[in-house]
Structure 1
């Protein structure tokens, strides 16, 4: 195994002899508070995997009890084995446990987190969002069929394999539910928490929550994929939590101008405050957003084909003669006044925002990438746009 400066967290050979006998650890590909993820190679086959090495030593737990960490990890292993075999859920290959370390060997997803992929492309098209969300919901449906609630669905916990297929991961907060059981613990990630999760923590008479919280999280994920920013974000966390409790979000930002009605309708049905009225995973997958039109195959009709060709050519000629189809320059005065509302400039702005900030740019108490130009002097704006428009 190659030596690295960050190898000081590797366990001793006695504690890891079984793991080292079967796998050869390589470079670090991820870190957690008490764990390290390394690419590793199975010696016998040469296949690549990802090994999550969990440090159970007292000094590395940052106040977390060793027994609690071990029990939680064993619970996660139990749930991972319950949901094994589904194409859109991460596959646990091997487990090695010692006094101070636990090794979890997973399939390797070379395209990393959906979050990082989204950051690189800014937003996803409706077609790509449909592809991703169908797989996420299929995975969630399988998890729910085992009476398991994930409780921490978010782009960071969705990995992408070589073909950009979804792999739901990180079942650390997942819980097996008994019939009719409700949960009350506050766990998950703030921006993806469902209203009933917050209520269960805030009010003594709250009814608790169940698998519906995963459906809410899917709505947040879908919203974020389409426009590159989450629906309830606010710089003040208390305001963000109030927005979640009230289901307060909108499709009014310029990013939504090019989005059709079907995805908006599905998001509205996913982000319903009352869980009993929220669409379930089966209904979600039946939504028109996921419907595809099948093209019926029939016998060849030469006359119909020729007629269709004439119609297409005639339409193309007429469209070519229309004045609005000619390339038109973007008026500089319009670009200076409100650049982000102009479709031609929106992608340029998106790319600039991510290259400069590396994250979504905030505007006032909301969030909007148009804020990149809010405090820029007019002369600098003019110089920037003249440069972009002249390309």
Structure 2
């Protein structure tokens, strides 16, 4: 949701803050924050840059007006996000400095600023990453997900737009608005979820089909999509036709562009993570122990099955509105019918 360069983050004059209310400016000013430009807007709030006198640095402030949000969001998703942010303490997860709420119903969340923007914009501007670069960034992201999963917390909205970059281009996972603390039954098994969260191009096929699923395993599929984008600068599947996309995903058909010259180990990790059979999909510990995330080996031909050239790929530069702005969680569609599920 944050989209700003280091220069953009500096506070702007009040005359340039027409989109900000005086309420925000005055309240944040009392707390020592000098409000700046808008970084992004979502379904239930906006994120603005600001300068913190106390921290002596630029920050991002998520502003949510509870008076203009649905009850379901206020009673379920906002409390979950705040609770998750208060628990987070990991180098590859955006830091939360302060959270406060006003009597007027405004919630302000002060966070670390991703000064180099998000991963999607970075890849659009620089192209596909070399494997050594992608390996380091993916390792950071996977370690952040392991941290969450070890706490029985699923992110449920993993996508390149929610992965920010600091000044040194280190990964900073953000936006826990759809995260969910997981519960277990009497046998210790994760309680399955029926709620659709996320963007269609990134979510697992079982979610799109409305099949009750383990949100941790769904996070893993999203990691595979992100890794593919890192090394190919393409979307692995064309989501313009959801039913066709799910059919291709269930065939376990993945196209790797020949021009990228990916190693067998890299292709194998992507292939094992984008596994439609949830019983065979890797968990986060297996992802982190995969050979590709260890010291690299010499390039050898890939033995992983792949679709024919051009079968599944989609240009990363095509405008995809659902990638840019998150919609309210809703039951998944199954064979064209909407099924109402619990989150």
Using the TM superposition, give the Cα deviation of residue 278 of structure 1 relative to its aligned residue in structure 2, in angstroms: 1.0
Alignment of 1:308-387 (within 5 A): 366-367=313-314
Does the CA-based 8 Å contact 1:234-1:366 persist in structure 2?
Answer: no
Instruction: Kindly tell me the number of residue pairs found equivalent between the two proteins.
Output: 288
3-state SS in 2 of match to 1:190 = coil
CA distance in 2, matches of 1:116, 1:290: 24
Counterpart among 188, 210, 215 of residue 215 in structure 2: 210
Does the CA-based 8 Å contact 1:115-1:156 persist in structure 2?
Answer: yes
> Relative CO higher for 1 or 2, CA cutoff 8 Å, sep ≥ 6?
2
Does the CA-based 8 Å contact 2:49-2:59 persist in structure 1?
Answer: yes
Using the TM superposition, give the Cα deviation of residue 238 of structure 1 relative to its aligned residue in structure 2, in angstroms: 2.7
CA distance in 1, matches of 2:313, 2:31: 53
Query: CA distance change for structure 1 residues 157 and 233 in 2, over 3 Å: closer, same or farther?
Result: same
Does the CA-based 8 Å contact 1:196-1:209 persist in structure 2?
Answer: no
CA distance in 1, matches of 2:233, 2:151: 32
Length-normalised TM-score, structure 2: 0.77
CA RMSD of aligned residues (A): 2.6
Alignment of 1:156-305 (within 5 A): 156-179=161-184, 180=189, 181-199=191-209, 201=210, 206-251=211-256, 253-256=257-260, 258-292=261-295
Length-normalised TM-score, structure 1: 0.68
CA distance in 1, matches of 2:131, 2:223: 15
Query: CA distance change for structure 1 residues 10 and 33 in 2, over 3 Å: closer, same or farther?
Result: farther
The aligned residue for residue 91 of structure 2 is 87
Query: CA distance change for structure 1 residues 90 and 277 in 2, over 3 Å: closer, same or farther?
Result: same
Gaps of 5+ in 1: 294-362, 370-391
CA deviation map 1:58-102 (0-9, x unaligned): 3xx5xx34x6346422220101112x2200111111112123311
CA distance in 2, matches of 1:141, 1:125: 24
Does the CA-based 8 Å contact 1:111-1:160 persist in structure 2?
Answer: yes
Using the TM superposition, give the Cα deviation of residue 16 of structure 1 relative to its aligned residue in structure 2, in angstroms: 5.8
Does the CA-based 8 Å contact 1:19-1:103 persist in structure 2?
Answer: no
3-state SS in 2 of match to 1:192 = coil
3-state SS in 2 of match to 1:123 = coil
CA distance in 2, matches of 1:51, 1:217: 26
